[in-house]
Structure 1
Amino acid sequence: MDVKEVLLPGVGLRYEFDNADGDRVGVIAKRGGDFEVVLYAAGDPDVAQPVFRLTADEAEALAQILGAPRIAERFADLTREVPGLDAGQVPVRPGSPFVDRPLGDTRARTRTGTSIVAIVRDDEVLPSPGPAEPLRAADVLVVIGTQDGLRRVAAIIDEG
């Protein structure tokens, strides 16, 4: 996809792209941190209709929501290139013995040879979590390893 970047002196940056429906979409990143999403009129590319505005925090939340599922997809793409390597997602269920305990307590890497490369929590992605990161009910662990290793991590998270 071709994204055009335009400097708006005194305002910020505008990013534009054409979506699959043929509409021209713009995202204006203002210097103060807010964002405005606009849709351009078909007949006049200089006339834009505001669609919605986002504060910096709202834009960050939206980016996390949209980006979280893509992390697992990117790892899945990577694993297709390496025979024997798989990516998966392991949910942390409310009854897990590791809820509210540090990730390191699972000893998942030592026990299975897999790597937990991210935690998806609500609308946030925690890449490369350290062993002190506490696990929460409803977290989703993004795991890379063999199929057997992924199954064993799921069993560890579920049963201990």
Structure 2
Amino acid sequence: MDGRTEEILDSPTGWVAAHVRTYVESDGAKGHLYHGVPTLLLTTRGRRSGKLRRTALIYGRDGDRHLLVASNGGSPGHPAWYLNLTADPAVEVQVGPEKFAARARTATAEEKRALWPVMAEVFPTYDGYQAKTSRDIPLVILERAQ
């Protein structure tokens, strides 16, 4: 993400890795919609390894901003991609064929109250994930880098 060509490691989860591969190989023509839900590819820098890590995530929109939910399926712990972007908020994003640099940040409590319904409309299961965990599931805002 500093202009050099580095190897990008895809999600170790089999079905996610297959989705990412389809997305990348088709340059976003396939994979943007996954079971009818819009997805993007997020590349973060590993907080411990320093390696680039890529995963596919459901997203929503708020104007020019892209929104993500760090649900981890309602698990008690945050997903690795979220921990990575909290350590280094400079990320790379691919939405369909479009690729851009962005800065990621966790929404404030006030922003989350306003934006959570946007994400719950995109993927209603998020409400169930929040209900099944005591963890406050973060909502992430991606803003294009200037």
**What band does the TM-score fall into relative to the shorter chain?**
under 0.3
TM-score normalized by structure 1?
Answer: 0.22
Q: TM-score, with normalisation over the residues of structure 2?
A: 0.24
Higher RCO (C-alpha under 8 Å, 6+ residues apart): 2
Which of the pair has more CA radius of gyration?
A: 1
